[in-house]
Amino acid sequence: MAQYRCVADCYVSPGGYAFASDILADDGTPGSIAIPVGYLPPVGAVDPITADAIQNVWNVGPVFGPVSSAQPGLWNSPHGWFRWTGVSYPKPRYYWRPIGGGQFVLNGAENLGPRSG
C-alpha cells in the first residue's frame, strides 16, 4: 500500500487538503489523510514512504513546468516562501535528479532506471 509524506501543501482528491509534513495513505494508516488506491502523487509535493509509493512516483516520472520536479526544495507555494517560516521538516529523500541527455533517475531508487524528462 502507498504512503507519502507531504513536502508542500497540496490538494488531495476528492475535496481534501494536506499540509506540508502530513502523511497520505491508501491503507487507512491511523493519523494519515486518506487517498484512493491508485492515487497519482503530485510530483515534487510528496516524498514516498513505501515501495508502492516509490513505484507510483517513478510511474508518473519527472514533470516540468515553471519549477522542475527534478529540482528538490524549489516548490513554489502559492503562499510564498514565508509559509514555512519557523516550521521544520526533513527534505525529500526521493526526488528526480538529472543524469544527462535529458534523462533523470529517482534519487534513492536508482534501481528503477532512468526516465526521460
For residue 48, pLDDT over 60 is answered with yes
Cα separation of the two ends of the chain? 27
Q: What does pLDDT average to over the chain? A: 80
- Residue 84 maps to a domain: no
Q: Using CA atoms, how far apart are residues 90 and 109, in angstroms rounded to an integer?
A: 18
- Residue 83 maps to a domain: no
> For the chain, what is the largest distance between any 2 Cα atoms, rounded to a whole number of angstroms?
43
For residue 4, pLDDT over 90 is answered with yes
> For the stretch 69-81, what's the b/e string if a residue is b when 16 or more beta carbons lie within 10 angstroms of its beta carbon?
bbebeebeeeeee
- Residue 57 maps to a domain: yes
- Residue 110 maps to a domain: yes
Overall number of domains in the chain = 1
In the block, residue with C-alpha cell 495513505: 25
Q: Using CA atoms, how far apart are residues 56 and 44, in angstroms rounded to an integer?
A: 13
In the block, residue with C-alpha cell 535528479: 97
- Residue 68 maps to a domain: yes
pLDDT at residue 77, rounded to an integer? 45
- Residue 82 maps to a domain: no
- Residue 55 maps to a domain: yes
- Residue 87 maps to a domain: no
Query: How far from 84 is each of 49, 74, 80, 87, 89, CA to CA, in Å?
Result: 22, 13, 9, 5, 9
Domain of residue 52 covers 3-76+92-116
pTM of the model: 0.79
